[in-house]
Amino acid sequence: MSKGLDYDTLNENVKKTAYAVRGELYLRASELQKQGKKIIFTNVGNPHALGQKPLTFPRQVVALCQAPFLLDDPNVGLLFPEDAIARAKYYLSITSGGLGAYSDSRGLPAIRQEVADFIERRDGYPSNPEHIFLTDGASKGVMQILNAIIRNKNDGILVPVPQYPLYSAAITLLGGSLIPYYLEETSNWGLDIDDLHQSVVQAKMKGITVRAMVIINPGNPTGQCLSASNINQLLKFCFHENLVLLADEVYQQNIYQNSRPFISAKKMLLDMHAPINTGMQLVSFHTVSKGYWGECGQRGGYFEMTNIPSQTVDEIYKISSISLSPNVPAQIFMGLMVNPLKPGDISYQKFVTECNAILESLKRRAHIMTDGFNSCRNVVCNFTEGAMYSFPQIKLPPRAIEAAKKAGKIADVFYCLKLLEATGISTVPGSGFGQKEGVFHLRTTILPPEEDMPEIMASFKKFNNEFMQQYDGTGSSGYSRM
Amino acid sequence: MSKGLDYDTLNENVKKTAYAVRGELYLRASELQKQGKKIIFTNVGNPHALGQKPLTFPRQVVALCQAPFLLDDPNVGLLFPEDAIARAKYYLSITSGGLGAYSDSRGLPAIRQEVADFIERRDGYPSNPEHIFLTDGASKGVMQILNAIIRNKNDGILVPVPQYPLYSAAITLLGGSLIPYYLEETSNWGLDIDDLHQSVVQAKMKGITVRAMVIINPGNPTGQCLSASNINQLLKFCFHENLVLLADEVYQQNIYQNSRPFISAKKMLLDMHAPINTGMQLVSFHTVSKGYWGECGQRGGYFEMTNIPSQTVDEIYKISSISLSPNVPAQIFMGLMVNPLKPGDISYQKFVTECNAILESLKRRAHIMTDGFNSCRNVVCNFTEGAMYSFPQIKLPPRAIEAAKKAGKIADVFYCLKLLEATGISTVPGSGFGQKEGVFHLRTTILPPEEDMPEIMASFKKFNNEFMQQYDGTGSSGYSRM
- Pick B11's closest partner by Cβ from A137, A149, A318: A149
Q: Which residues in B334-427 belong to E strands, given as ranges?
A: 379-380, 389-390, 393-394, 425-426
DSSP state of A184: E
Task: Tell me if A10 and B149 make a contact (CB, 8 A cut-off).
Answer: yes
Task: Tell me if A14 and B325 make a contact (CB, 8 A cut-off).
Answer: no
Residue A473's pLDDT is what? Answer: 65
> Mean of the pLDDT values across residues B68-96?
97
Count Cβ–Cβ pairs < 8 Å, chain A vs chain B.
Answer: 312
The full DSSP string for B128-154 is -GGGEEEESSHHHHHHHHHHHH--STT
Average pLDDT, chain B: 94
Please, what is the angle between helix A411-423 and helix A398-406, to 10°? 90
Q: Which residues in A197-239 belong to E strands, given as ranges?
A: 209-216
Express as a percent the part of chain B with pLDDT over 70: 98
Chain A residues touching B50 at Cβ < 8 A: 97
Residue B196's pLDDT is what? Answer: 93
Ranges in chain B annotated CATH 3.90.1150.10: 7-38+361-471
Judged by CB atoms within 8 Å, which residues 49-78 of A form the interface with B? 49-52, 54, 56, 59-60, 62-64, 66-70, 73, 75-76, 78
Residue A166's pLDDT is what? Answer: 93
Maximum distance among all alpha carbons in chain B?
Answer: 79
CATH of B7-38+361-471, one of 2.30.30.830, 3.90.1150.10, 3.40.250.10, 3.40.50.300: 3.90.1150.10
Task: Tell me if A173 and B3 make a contact (CB, 8 A cut-off).
Answer: no
Q: What are phi and psi of B394, to 5 degrees?
A: -110, 115
pLDDT band at B23 (very low <50, low <70, confident <90, very high): confident
Chain B residues touching A173 at Cβ < 8 A: 147, 319, 322
> Mean of the pLDDT values across residues B235-244?
96
Those residues whose C-beta lies under 8 Å from the C-beta of residue A328, and which sit 6 or more positions away, are: A95, A98, A99, A100, A101, A102, A103, A108, B297, B298, B299
Residue B26's pLDDT is what? Answer: 87
Q: Which residues in B244-281 belong to E strands, given as ranges?
A: 244-248
> Mean of the pLDDT values across residues A214-229?
94
Q: Is 70 exceeded by the pLDDT of residue A474?
A: no
Judged by CB atoms within 8 Å, which residues 225-264 of B form the interface with A? 242-244
Question: Where does A93-338 sit in CATH, by number?
Answer: 3.40.640.10
Q: How far is A73 from chain B (nearest CA, A)?
A: 8
> Mean of the pLDDT values across residues A16-39?
87
pLDDT digits (tens, 9 = 90+) for B416-472: 999 999 999 999 999 989 888 999 999 999 999 999 999 999 999 999 999 999 998
Ranges in chain A annotated CATH 3.90.1150.10: 7-38+356-471
- Classify strands B379-380 and B389-390 as parallel, antiparallel or unpaired: unpaired
pLDDT band at B272 (very low <50, low <70, confident <90, very high): very high
List the Cα angle B13/B218/B30 in 5-degree steps.
55
- Classify strands A389-390 and A132-135 as parallel, antiparallel or unpaired: unpaired
Q: Is 50 exceeded by the pLDDT of residue A382?
A: yes
A217 contacts A262 by C-beta, under 8 angstroms: yes
Judged by CB atoms within 8 Å, which residues 369-408 of A form the interface with B? none
pLDDT digits (tens, 9 = 90+) for B325-346: 999 999 999 999 999 999 999 9
Task: Tell me if A49 and B330 make a contact (CB, 8 A cut-off).
Answer: no
B235 contacts B272 by C-beta, under 8 angstroms: yes
B211 touches chain A (CB under 8 A): yes
Q: Is 90 exceeded by the pLDDT of residue B155?
A: yes
Write down the ipTM of this complex.
0.95
pLDDT digits (tens, 9 = 90+) for A254-305: 999 999 999 999 999 999 999 999 999 999 999 999 999 999 999 999 999 9
Q: Is 50 exceeded by the pLDDT of residue B475?
A: no
Chain A residues touching B244 at Cβ < 8 A: 3-5
- Pick B312's closest partner by Cβ from A10, A21, A48: A10
Helix (H, G, I), strand (E, B) or coil at B245: strand
CA-based torsion, B196, B198, B203, B204: positive or negative: positive
- Pick A59's closest partner by Cβ from B66, B76, B150: B66
Task: Tell me if B11 and A148 make a contact (CB, 8 A cut-off).
Answer: yes
Residue A60's pLDDT is what? Answer: 98
Task: Tell me if B296 and A324 make a contact (CB, 8 A cut-off).
Answer: yes
Q: How far is B343 from chain A (nearest CA, A)?
A: 23
Count of CB atoms situated within 10 Å of the CB of B44: 21
Task: Tell me if B139 and A324 make a contact (CB, 8 A cut-off).
Answer: yes
Task: Tell me if B299 and A136 make a contact (CB, 8 A cut-off).
Answer: yes
Task: Tell me if B139 and A322 make a contact (CB, 8 A cut-off).
Answer: yes
Q: Is 70 exceeded by the pLDDT of residue A202?
A: yes
Those residues whose C-beta lies under 8 Å from the C-beta of residue A220, and which sit 6 or more positions away, are: A45, A163, A164, A248, A250, A251, A387, A388, A389
Judged by CB atoms within 8 Å, which residues 303-362 of A form the interface with B? 305, 308-309, 311-312, 315, 318-319, 321-330
B170 touches chain A (CB under 8 A): yes
B170 contacts B144 by C-beta, under 8 angstroms: no
Residue B24's pLDDT is what? Answer: 85
A7-38+356-471 is classed CATH 3.30.950.10? no
Ranges in chain B annotated CATH 3.40.640.10: 93-338
